[in-house]
Amino acid sequence: MDFNNQRIKKDLGTRVNEQIRVPKVLLIDSSGKNIGETDTYVALQMARDAEMDLVEVGANSNPPVCRIMDYSKYIYEQKKKLRKNKAGRAKELKEFRFSVVIDKYDMDTRIRRALEFLEKGHPVKITVTRKGRQPYQQMKEVFSQILTNFTEYSSIESEPKSESNSISITFKGDGKTKNKQNSNKENQAFQSKGEQESKDDVQAESSGTSEN
């Protein structure tokens, strides 16, 4: 048995061949046939005769269930299942919301927590919101300030999502980018878009004043 198989066996908690030290086992042969309760030394000899291994596949049974099989193939299949299960466990999205009037302590705390979640592999959404007549420009400035802390991370979106009362962007979990200026580029794209929306806000407010 090679080192990798030993390591996987330890991870899976699987006993094989002479490591199975109970007097009897419930035996399944290499074709999948249920042989029933068998002396362990007999089961071991049957495995040797078939040039295979005796593998414990049901440790919680009394006596334990063992099967005659190719142990290397069994390890390969178990590793594949582990990888599939790991890949299927998508990390939960974490969102951190900031207002345009958030104080520095709260801002720094949320940024720190967001970075911690990114390091753990969670995707993180950063959202800045404004209320009522709070200026769009102020919201944009707060958002731009926050983004400077995430320049090492790549985002899911090509650019920040901008609405009338919010701006957001989602960073990939553990998605560090080789391009350290990633967030700066997003900022630039957002700023040009934001300037136009800020102008639109001003024009809308001016229009409303004229009508009154």
Q: What is the 3-state secondary structure of the chain?
A: CCHHHHHHHHHHCCCEHHHCCCCEEEEECCCCCEEEEEEHHHHHHHHHHCCCEEEEEECCCCCCEEEEECHHHHHHHHHHHHHHHHHHCCCCCEEEEEECCCCHHHHHHHHHHHHHHHHCCCCEEEEEECCCCCCHHHHHHHHHHHHHHHCCEEECCCCCEEECCEEEEEEEEEEECCCCCHHHHHHHHHHHHHHHHHHHHHHHHHHHHHHC
pLDDT digits (tens, 9 = 90+) for 36-79: 999 999 999 999 999 999 999 888 888 999 999 998 888 888 78
Between 191 and 155, the more confident residue is: 155
The more confident residue out of 172 and 105 is 105
Q: What is the pLDDT of residue 87?
A: 62
Domains and CATH numbers, the chain: 3-88 (3.10.20.80), 94-199 (3.30.110.10)
Question: For residue range 25-44, what is the model confidence (pLDDT) as tens digits?
Answer: 999 998 889 999 999 999 99
Instruction: Report yes or no on whether pTM surpasses 0.75.
Output: no
